[in-house]
Structure 1
């Protein structure tokens, strides 16, 4: 009888300990399965990002994934051709290991596409001459690890770059100052290979917006004020945009620290 009582007490204490861990938001691993909402089939290679912990992973061939998380963390699910989804972690998701998360396919209405602006002939030698040329030049400055784009190659472009670098007051003080916590996430994002792989395959800025909690317009403002060209802003993938913002922010911190001294 004494042994049975001891076993029951141990079981109760373990359950209570488990509940306390979830209620105190202690980080632990969560497992779930991602499926196609239309077919119920498991989805492989879906990217999952914990927006709070800035950690990422992908699903295996069975649609399964495991990721470190805590109660109330938000998971962001992304897959090409499917609607991205955010899920807030609850206690139930830790208790039940067969949680299924459904993603819905996007319905695209394809419109007629007419290729006529450059009057392509089919002859490479002729068509190459008719295509627009990207005149955005990048300038490197001694002491800084990144280059700066400034549009056309002319003296005013170089002056524009130097003006932004040497004048911290004009270098996005308001944008960076309003989002200090989000900007601090940049380094953590860059250190996670799964997140970097996801960003390298995306061009829509959606994941960056969720990770940094800033608007798409803010991203464009940051890059404009850091003297990146319009062609770079519109054609770069999300990883290149992340690296550009990160480099600009690091330079800003150095210059801002120097001014305070």
Structure 2
């Protein structure tokens, strides 16, 4: 009996360590000083799993104490949260992001000396400076898209925990080699490509919109404060302004921006 006692203690210690490392869902929400922040990106730096907030700024992600969560969204300072035991309480934890002050470059408008000849006039017409700057701002060289970080489906909408095989299995990149499973790998590559394309559009959309409609339209005609520009677009986003822009439905897009600017200005003034 004495010889078996150390083995029993070792088994109990092993079970205790395993239980401590088991991850469970952490529920939280992301917001700024005015409202919730939808489509914010959350990644567990320890497991490399990621998700997005829903329309109410809510999300859930597998974590355990001492994990680190990175929360980011365009126009806001990136935040890193160290997970603690209190984050798994009954009440949903709130995470606040701070806005980044943006300064818009001035664009000089010059008269065009056009003579009616396409061959000559195209050489004299200046390039769209705002559009060129928007394209140059899309630098993704620091992101390694080979890592399986972003999940295609928001974890808040799942009815069961996500599959851990795709994101943690070190042999997942070799799936289909010499077998009949190559179609699954191709499907995942297509999903990753679509996700990357969606992120690039969301990053460039505010600058593309400003380049096309101009600063006068947003800051003088609609009277949107410059530091609220990105937040105003997120306020209008549930009405499908990104899709309208993609489809070239400019008149409908302008109509929504004009109408929503009235209620938006009233909302932020009430907050103040």
* TM-score calculated relative to the size of structure 2: 0.38
* TM-score calculated relative to the size of structure 1: 0.39
